[in-house]
Amino acid sequence: MPESSSRTSAATTGLDVRPFRALTYRQQDPEHLARVSSPAYDLVTPAGRDRLAGTDPHNVVRLILPSAEGRSGSAETAARTLRQWQEEAVLVRDAEPALWLYELRPGGPGPATAGWLGAVALPPAGSTAVLPHEDTFAPAVEGRRALLAATATDLEPIVLAHDPDPEVAALTDEIRVGPPTLAVQDADGVEHRLWRVTAPAVLDRLTGALGRTQAVIADGHHRFAAARAHHRSAPDQPGSDRVLALVTPMGPGGLRVDPIHRVVPDLDLDTAVRAAARGFTVSEPAAGDAAREARAWIADPGQSGFLVTDGHRVVRLSGPSPEVCASVPPEAPTAWRNLDVVLAHHGLIDRLWHRSDDPTSVLIGHSVDEALRLAADRSGVALLLRAPSPSDVAAVARAGARMPRKSTLFVPKPRTGLVFRPLAD
Question: Across all residues in the chain, what is the average pLDDT?
Answer: 90
Residue 99's DSSP bridge partners are 197
Same domain, 219 and 312: no
Residue 390 is assigned to a structural domain of this protein: no
Reported as a pLDDT band with limits 50, 70 and 90, residue 287 is low
- If one counts the domains in the chain, the total is 2
Residues 239 and 115 placed together within one structural domain of the fold: yes
- 288 and 203, same structural domain? no
**What pTM, to 2 d.p., does this model score?**
0.77
- Whether 59 is in a domain gets the answer yes
Query: Rounded to 5 degrees, what are φ and ψ at 219?
Result: -155, 140
Rg (CA), the chain: 22
Task: Read off the pLDDT band of 4 (50, 70, 90).
Answer: very low
* 150-164 pLDDT per residue, tens: 999 999 999 999 988
- The answer to whether residues 248 and 266 belong to one domain is no
Residues 31, 126: one domain?
yes
Are 85 and 196 found together in one domain? yes
pLDDT, position 73: 58
Same domain? 114 vs 220: yes
The mean per-residue pLDDT over the stretch 244-254 comes to 85
Domain membership flag for residue 268: yes
How confident is the model over 41-56, as a mean pLDDT? 92
For residue 405, tell me if it sits in a domain.
no
> Beta partners for 246?
117, 159
Task: Specify the pLDDT at position 71.
Answer: 46
Q: Judge whether 309 lies within some domain.
A: yes
Tally the C-alpha atoms within 13 A of residue 186's C-alpha that lie toward its C-beta.
21
**Pair (223, 316) in one structural domain:** no
Residues 280 and 181 in one domain: no
User: Has residue 389 been placed in a domain?
Assistant: no
Residues 234 and 342 placed together within one structural domain of the fold? no
| Same domain? 125 vs 274 | no
Query: Residue 400 falls within a domain, yes or no?
Result: no
The dihedral over CA atoms of 228, 234, 235, 239, expressed in degrees to the nearest 10, equals -80
Q: In whole angstroms, give the CA distance from residue 375 to residue 382.
A: 6
Domain that holds residue 32: 8-256+411-422
Q: For 329-356, how does the pLDDT look when each residue is reduced to its tens digit (9 = 90+)?
A: 888 888 888 888 999 999 999 999 999 9
Q: 113, 286, 83, 266: which is closest to 192 by C-alpha? A: 113
Query: Rounded to whole angstroms, how far apart are CA atoms 21 and 47?
Result: 33
Of the two residues 391 and 226, the one the predictor is more confident about is 226
Share of the chain above pLDDT 90, in %: 67
406 falls within a domain: no
* 398 CB neighbour count, 10 Å cutoff: 15
User: Does 380 lie in the same domain as 306?
Assistant: yes
Model confidence at 255, pLDDT cuts 50, 70, 90, reads: confident
The pLDDT value recorded for residue 253 is 67
